[in-house]
Structure 1
Amino acid sequence: MTRVTGYAAEVTVCDGQRFTTLGGVVVHNRRLVLLWLRRQALRLANGHGLPLAPEPVRLPAGDVRPVRFHGAHAPEELRRWATHSAHQDHAIRALEAGFPALFTVLDPAVGLSLTLAGWRGRPADR
């Protein structure tokens, strides 16, 4: 039996007809997955992709492509997920237990859904 080491994460967007990956990362541990996903959530929420300050930890992949939201709800939900400890605790517990950490926000004005996902394994394991 092969032991799976490492974690993967990606941000995807769907408009109801098309599904697109905005970017992803493969890292060594679940904390780095969560750090990368939090960074992407804040970056997407704060000004539609404006750059953030460098992370104190060197992440192996760059930021995802920006998304233009048409309402304030999706950016607020992304910001809330990234900054509230209860959401982060839930995500890290899911990863510790071997389950994926998923968070999806909707922009109902244009039928857009954006998902942050992290899981144990490689990108092909999702």
Structure 2
Amino acid sequence: MKAARSAPGRVRALDYVAAVTVRAGGRTLPLGGVALPNRRLVLRWLRRQALRLADGHGRSPVPAAAPWLGARDVRPVTFHGSDAPEALRAWAGDHGRQDRAISALESGRPALLTVVDPFVGLCVTLGGWPVDLCGWAAAASANHPYPPRTETEEV
């Protein structure tokens, strides 16, 4: 696991992981993810990705190597309807849902959001969870993009 430099000469562990995956046709593919030192940064990254994915709706697909994509941004998804993009925007702007996500992370549980594009059965999941060596190792060894789901918000 990588560590982040907090001050010259001092290293602190990255305590949280955030990722975005897409599932379609029985396959789950990672779109991107990051390791971060605190839950607020996890939530900020997830909100940014939710808005980026939603704002890409109705536009031509953006190449993954486009120069304006940040190094930590997820690859874009082409939605076929407006339900999923609107659900992503709603989640990103809802303070109550953000508070519940922070509370889940604070208590050691994952914060997950799944949105569905019903026209093609595309599911996009945004998730953040604390790095817990036992749970993280088990999830990684099972080649699963997320730890076991405890509370998932599905829209």
Fold equivalence (TM over 0.5): yes
Q: Structure 1 residue 47: deviation in Å?
A: 2.2
Higher RCO (C-alpha 8 Å, min separation 6): 1
**Deviation above 3 Å: which 4+ runs of structure 1?**
48-51
Aligned equivalent of 1:77: 87
Q: Which runs of structure 2 are paired with 1:1-126 in the superposition (5 Å)?
A: 6-48=15-57, 62-121=72-131, 125=136, 126=147
Letter paired with 1:67: V
TM-score by length of 1: 0.84
- Larger Cα Rg: Structure 1 or Structure 2? 2
**Deviation per residue, 1:26-59 (Å, 9 max, x gap):** 00000010010000000000124779x9xxxxx9
Q: Which has the higher strand share?
A: 2
Q: Structure 1 residue 6: deviation in Å?
A: 0.6
Distance of 1:6 and 1:90 partners within structure 2: 19
Distance of 1:40 and 1:47 partners within structure 2: 11
Percent identity among equivalent residues?
Answer: 58
Aligned residues: 117
Distance of 2:121 and 2:94 partners within structure 1: 26
Letter paired with 1:47: G
TM-score by length of 2: 0.68
Over the aligned positions, Cα root-mean-square deviation in angstroms equals 2.5
**Deviation per residue, 1:73-105 (Å, 9 max, x gap):** 000000000011011011000001110000000
Q: Which runs of 5+ in 1 are unaligned?
A: 54-58
Please state whether the residue corresponding to 1:90 is helix, strand or coil.
helix
Distance of 1:104 and 1:5 partners within structure 2: 24
